[in-house]
Structure 1
Amino acid sequence: MYANGQTIIQYFEEFSPKRLAMEGDKIGLQVGTLNKEIKKVMVTLDVLENVVDEAIEQGVDLIIAHHAVIFRPLKNLRTDVPAGRLYEKLIKHDIAVYIAHTNLDVAVGGINDLMANALELQNTEPLEVLSTEKLKKIVVFVPQTHNQEVFDAMAKAGAGWIGNYSHCSFRQEGTGTFMPRENTDPFIGSQGKLEQVEEIRIETIVTEGIQNRVVKAMIKAHPYEEVAYDIYPLEQPSVSYGLGRIGHLPAEVSLREFAEKVKTAFEVKGVRVVGDMSSRVKKVAVLGGDGNSFISKAILKGADVFVTGDVYYHMAHDAMASGMSMVDPGHNAEKIMKKAVQQLLEERLKKDHYQTDVILSVVNTDPFTFLV
């Protein structure tokens, strides 16, 4: 059995919801339809014509990409020019294209976390906070026979995330009592008779933004006609979502050593470096893509070095003047997202017994070549 396109994107958006995207960002379904059976998904950074040719050759039904295939408004759809030819191929071969851009940057476990993890940064936080959400605790009482089923439904809806850990919960055994009255249809017991049932108390955590979705999924999976549950506001710090990450290396290293680490971590042949190669770095800011507008934020937060792409000449001067070093691995370093998205989708599809394949584009979409 193959998954429907809408199901696949539902899985993906549980991890990288649209609400995290910056206003005006070009995300979501850009070409085709999701209302169809998907035998093969391809994950790519960019949707170029050679990537589309690869998708056609591989029999792909859906492309999930980071960079938009339609970024500017179309004035025409001529098939005798490169952009129009690309769209024609996608439509003729019934290939849908779905884009996740800043929402994938911002998401917990998204591109910026992947880049920070690849550099082994510790105690990270967003470089630029865009939004915050209050935390809530949901407590629900479930018969032992449906304990895992109900929690799985809640986790699938987004509950149970603490940092990069998913499916976090606390469970405790106990005895629940109830008496079904008139006009009830109890799952357990009979009308007018006091029942005592061995139940599990499940506690888990949710953000305010997904609370209603989690409760709805919980009630749908719960066997009882009337579900007993509680929701508590939490006093601990809310969840912050933002672009970039800043954290610390396990040990101080030279800028030269760190630049070599960046090359290896992001699988690039060369990097541009701003700063004294012998200077020492410990506190690191990182942001995928073009991070020029965040250089001042990295300086303000005390970064020794800022890792980002597409660094402008005069912005590099500003960094030098402030005493902050920079390492530019190029915009294409964001390709780190491909394997992570593939793994995420494969796990979900396998869990729900779908046969849909998820493959990675192997086309190199970096327009630049380093001569070293």
Structure 2
Amino acid sequence: MYAKGQAVIQLMEEFAPKSYAVENDRIGLQIGTLSKEIRKVLIALDVTDEVVEEAIREQADLIIAHHAVIFRPLPHIQTDTPAGRLYEKLIKHDIAVYIAHTNLDVADGGINDMMAEAIGMTKTEPLDEVHTDKLKKLVVFAPQDHAENVRKALFEAGAGWIGDYSHCSFNIEGTGTFMPKEGTDPYIGQQGKLEAVKEIRIETIVPQSVERKAVQAMLRAHPYEEVAYDLYPLDLKTRTFGLGRAGKLPQPVTLKELCEQVKQAFDVPMLRIVGDPDRMLRKAAVLGGSGARYVRHAIFAGADVLITGDIDYHTAHDALAAGIALIDPGHNVEKIMKRGVAEILERKLAERKWTTAVVASRIDTEPFRFA
């Protein structure tokens, strides 16, 4: 059975929640509708005419891309302009376009983690914090014979984490009372009769990012027709999420050696560097896309080198003076997300027994060529 568009995006947003995006980022559904079955999803870095033609050939119903197809407010849609023709083609072929940008950069396992993993970085931390997951306390009352199933569902949905400890909960035995009224279909008891049932009060921690998923999982596992549960906001912070990553390299290498690793890991033929090629490096920072304004963040994190795109002349001079090396493999290295996101979404769909296919775009959208 094919997944509906809303279900596909719900899985995508479990991985890269919209709340992770920086303010005013152009994310979400930009073209088309999600109120349809999705037979195939195409994962792309950019939405160009060549990518749209690929989606048509693949019979894809949805493109999930990293870079917005509509970045600035549109004064008009004229179909005799390049942008207008692109939008017209997408609409005529009923291809929806959904954008995951900085939320995908920030997410655990997102673009910056993919980049860090590609060169073997360990013990990574965000360069620039943009989101702290808020915590809530979830309390639910379940009959004794279903308490374990309800706890298991909550834990599998991401609830119950305190620091590095998982499956955290507190459980109290008590008696629940209720009277099923006319029209109800009670799991326990009879209509019009007051019932007293031995129940377990289950308390656990739920990060806001998985709140919806956890509540839905709890409701599915609970046997009652009407589930009694509470959600309390807590004045506590949990994990912090952010742009970029800083971490240790697998072993000390020279800038020249790291350049060769970067070219291979990110599939780029050439790159620009700032710094002495023979300098030894032990700690690196990576940031997908344009990272010129994050040089200071990399220095503060103790990185010997920052790997990012779109480095300008003056930033290069500032970095040289500050004593940090730079490797600029270009903005397009974010293409690493195509295969990475495709694999994650494909796995999530398969876990739910949906037959919607997911493919990574094979189109090279790098606009620069070397002469």
Question: Within the alignment, does 1:178 sit opposite 2:175 as a pair?
Answer: yes
CA distance in 1, matches of 2:277, 2:53: 42
Equivalent runs, 1:84-99 vs 2, <5 Å: 84-99=84-99
Residue in 1 that maps onto 2:71? 71
Find the counterpart in structure 2 of residue 34 from structure 1: 34
Q: Tell me by how many angstroms 1:76 deviates.
A: 2.6
2:175 partner letter = F
Partner of 2:131: 131
Alignment correspondent of 1:7: 7
In structure 2, what is the Cα distance between the partners aligned to 1:42 and 1:35?
Answer: 17
CA distance in 1, matches of 2:220, 2:255: 54
State the alpha-carbon separation in 2 of the partners of residues 162 and 311 from structure 1.
Answer: 39
Q: Where does residue 167 of structure 2 map in the other structure?
A: 169
Which residue in the other structure is 2:333 paired with? Answer: 333
Q: CA deviation at 1:171?
A: 7.9
C-alpha change, 1:211 and 1:96, in structure 2 (3 Å) is closer
Question: Residue 254 of structure 1 corresponds to which residue in structure 2?
Answer: 254
Q: Quote the Cα distance in structure 2 between the aligned partners of 1:307 and 1:37.
A: 40
| Secondary structure in structure 2 of the residue aligned to 1:26 | coil
Question: What is the CA-CA distance between 1:72 and the residue it aligns to?
Answer: 1.7
Q: Using a 3 Å threshold, how does the CA distance of structure 1 residues 54 and 176 change in structure 2: closer, same or farther? A: same
Quickly say closer, same or farther: Cα 1:216–1:362, change in 2 above 3 A.
Answer: closer
Q: Deviations over 1:220-277 (max 9, x none)?
A: 5411355477979597x63112111111113221111111111122122222111111
Mapped to 2, the partners of 1:212 and 1:40 lie a distance apart of 26
SS in structure 2 of the partner of residue 206 of structure 1: strand
Bigger mean CA offset, 326-335 vs 140-149: 140-149
C-alpha displacement at 1:98, in angstroms?
0.4
Structure 1 stretch displaced more, 178-187 or 349-358:
178-187
CA distance in 2, matches of 1:64, 1:232: 33
In the alignment, structure 2 segments of 5+ residues that lack a partner are none
Aligned equivalents of 2:195, 2:61: Cα separation in 1 = 56
Report the 3-state secondary structure (helix = DSSP H, G, I; strand = E; otherwise coil) of the residue aligned with 2:126.
strand
User: Which whole-Å CA distance do the structure 2 matches of 1:79 and 1:211 have between them?
Assistant: 43
- Determine if contact 1:135/1:239 at 8 Å carries over to the other structure: no
Instruction: Provide the aligned C-alpha RMSD in A.
Output: 3.1
What residue in structure 1 maps to residue 269 of structure 2?
269
How far apart, in 1, do the equivalents of 2:53 and 2:106 lie?
Answer: 30
| C-alpha contact (below 8 Å) 2:162/2:168 kept by paired residues | no
Conserved in 1, the CA contact under 8 Å of 2:138 and 2:229?
A: no
Q: CA deviation at 1:348?
A: 1.9
Residue 239 of structure 1 aligns to a residue whose secondary structure is: strand
Consecutive unaligned residues in structure 1, runs of 5 or more: none
Please report how far the alpha carbon of residue 113 of structure 1 lies from its aligned counterpart in structure 2 after TM superposition: 1.4
CA separation of 1:280 and 1:95: change in aligned 2, threshold 3 A: same
Q: Alpha carbons of 1:221 and 1:54: their partners in 2 closer, same or farther (altered >3 Å)?
A: same
Alpha-carbon spacing, 1:232–1:310, altered in 2? closer, same or farther (3 Å): closer
1: distance between equivalents of 2:166 and 2:156?
Answer: 9
The percentage of counterpart residues that share the same residue type is: 51
Q: Give the structure 2 partner of residue 317 of structure 1.
A: 317
Matches within 5 A, 1:184-199: 187-188=187-188
Q: CA deviation at 1:95?
A: 0.4
User: What CA distance in whole angstroms lies between the structure 2 residues aligned with 1:150 and 1:357?
Assistant: 32
**Cα pair distance change 1:37/1:212, threshold 3 Å:** closer
Instruction: Tell me the alpha carbon deviations over residues 330-355 of structure 1, each in whole angstroms, 9 at most, x when there is no partner.
Output: 11111111122112221221122211
Question: Which digits, 9 at most, give the CA deviation of each residue in 1:69-126, with x for residues without a partner?
Answer: 1112223322222211111110110000000111111112211111112222222111
Question: Contact 1:178 / 1:195 at 8 angstroms: preserved in 2?
Answer: yes
